[in-house]
Amino acid sequence: MADLAAAGESARSAWLCLCIPELALQALRPQMLAAPNSDQADLAWVVLRKVDSSQIIAVDSHAAALGISCNHSLAQARAITPKLGVLVRQAMREDALLEDLACVAYQFSHQVLLGKNSLDNDGAGNAWVSFEIAASLKLFAGLAALLDALKPLLAALMLRLQLGIAPNPEGARVLAQSAAVGHVRRAHQWPQSLNRIALIHSALAPDTTSALASMGVHDFEALLALPTSGLRKRFGADCVTYLTALQQSGGSGTVDKSRRAGDTAGMSRGSGTVDKSRGSGTVDKSRGSGTVDKSRRAGDTTNKAQSGNYWRPPQRFQRQLDFGFSAESVALLAFPIKRLLRELALYLQACDAAVQEITLTLAHQSKPATLLVVNMLSVTRDALILASLVSTKLESLRLVEGVIGISLSVQKLQASTAHTPDLFSATAAASLPLPRLLERLQNKLGTNKVSIDSLAKTNKVNQVGDDDATAVQTLHWQHEHRPELASRSQPLSAQQFLAKPGKSKDVLIDSQAMPPRPIWLITPEAIAADTFAILSGPERIESGWWDSAHLGDVRRDYYVAQLHSGTRIWIYQQRPNSKVAAAIVWYLHGYF
- pLDDT (0 to 100) of residue 434: 60
65 is in which domain, residue-wise? 28-36+44-88
pLDDT interval class at 181 (50, 70, 90): confident
Shared domain check, 266 and 137: yes
Measured N-to-C along each axis, helices 334-351 and 143-156 cross at an angle, to the nearest 10 degrees, of 140
How confident is the model over 386-414, as pLDDT tens digits?
888 888 888 878 889 999 999 999 988 88
What secondary structure does DSSP assign to 109-127, as a single string?
-S-EEEEEPPP-TTS---E
Shared domain check, 100 and 128: yes
Answer for the pair 482, 551: CB distance below 8 angstroms, yes or no.
yes
Report if residue 205 sits inside a domain.
yes
Shared domain check, 397 and 459: no
Report, in this order, helix, strand and coil percent for the chain, each rounded to 5: 30, 25, 45
Report if residue 272 sits inside a domain.
yes
How confident is the model over 493-510, as pLDDT tens digits?
445 554 554 444 444 444
Q: What is the CATH number of the domain that holds 331?
A: 3.30.1490.100
Shared domain check, 453 and 414: no
Q: Which residues contact 90 (CB under 8 A, 6 or more apart)?
A: 27, 28, 322
- pLDDT (0 to 100) of residue 192: 87
Q: What value does the mean pLDDT take over residues 222-230? A: 90
pLDDT interval class at 578 (50, 70, 90): low
Query: Does the pLDDT value for residue 324 go beyond 90?
Result: no
Shared domain check, 109 and 221: yes
Query: DSSP letter at 426?
Result: S
Q: Residue 198 pairs with which residues in a beta bridge?
A: 219
* Among 510, 535, 551, residue at a domain's last position: 510
Q: What value does the mean pLDDT take over residues 128-140? A: 91
- pLDDT (0 to 100) of residue 461: 37
Shared domain check, 107 and 70: no
Report if residue 425 sits inside a domain.
no
44-74 core/surface letters (b: 16 or more CB in 10 A; e: else) = bbbbbbeeeeeebbbbbebbeeeebebebee
- pLDDT (0 to 100) of residue 584: 78
- pLDDT (0 to 100) of residue 375: 83
Measured N-to-C along each axis, helices 206-214 and 228-235 cross at an angle, to the nearest 10 degrees, of 120
* Among 381, 402, 418, residue at a domain's last position: 418
Q: What value does the mean pLDDT take over residues 200-219? A: 90
Shared domain check, 463 and 451: yes
How confident is the model over 452-488, as pLDDT tens digits?
443 333 333 333 333 434 445 566 667 777 887 777 6
d(CA 11, CA 1): 22
d(CA 292, CA 62): 30
* Among 385, 418, 451, residue at a domain's last position: 418
- pLDDT (0 to 100) of residue 450: 56
What secondary structure does DSSP assign to 366-378, as a single string?
SSPPEEEEEEEEE
Question: How many residues can be counted in the chain?
Answer: 592
Least confident of 70-74, 99-103, 473-477: 473-477
Query: Does the pLDDT value for residue 328 go beyond 70?
Result: yes
Q: Residue 541 pairs with which residues in a beta bridge?
A: 556
Domain count, the chain: 5
How confident is the model over 240-280, as pLDDT tens digits?
999 988 888 764 444 333 333 333 333 333 333 333 333 33
Between 436 and 172, where is the model more confident? 172
**CA 453: distance to chain centroid?**
27
Report if residue 427 sits inside a domain.
no
d(CA 342, CA 334): 12
Shared domain check, 482 and 562: no
Question: Which pTM value belongs to this model?
Answer: 0.64
Q: Find, among 434, 337, 349, the residue nearest to 392 by Cα.
A: 337
Percent of the chain past pLDDT 90, that is, above it, reads: 26
Report if residue 375 sits inside a domain.
yes
- pLDDT (0 to 100) of residue 368: 92
Report if residue 487 sits inside a domain.
yes
Q: What is the mean pLDDT of the chain?
A: 76
Report if residue 395 sits inside a domain.
yes
d(CA 172, CA 23): 19
Dihedral of alpha carbons 527, 528, 532, 537, sign:
positive
d(CA 570, CA 564): 14
- pLDDT (0 to 100) of residue 429: 43
- pLDDT (0 to 100) of residue 30: 83
Q: What is the CATH number of the domain that holds 122?
A: 3.30.70.270
Shared domain check, 457 and 351: no
- pLDDT (0 to 100) of residue 385: 86
How confident is the model over 8-64, as pLDDT tens digits?
444 578 999 999 998 999 988 888 877 766 456 678 999 998 888 888 999 998 999
Shared domain check, 368 and 289: no
Answer for the pair 44, 60: CB distance below 8 angstroms, yes or no.
yes
Report if residue 316 sits inside a domain.
no
Shared domain check, 172 and 134: yes
Shared domain check, 192 and 136: yes
How confident is the model over 519-539, as pLDDT tens digits?
778 888 999 888 999 998 888
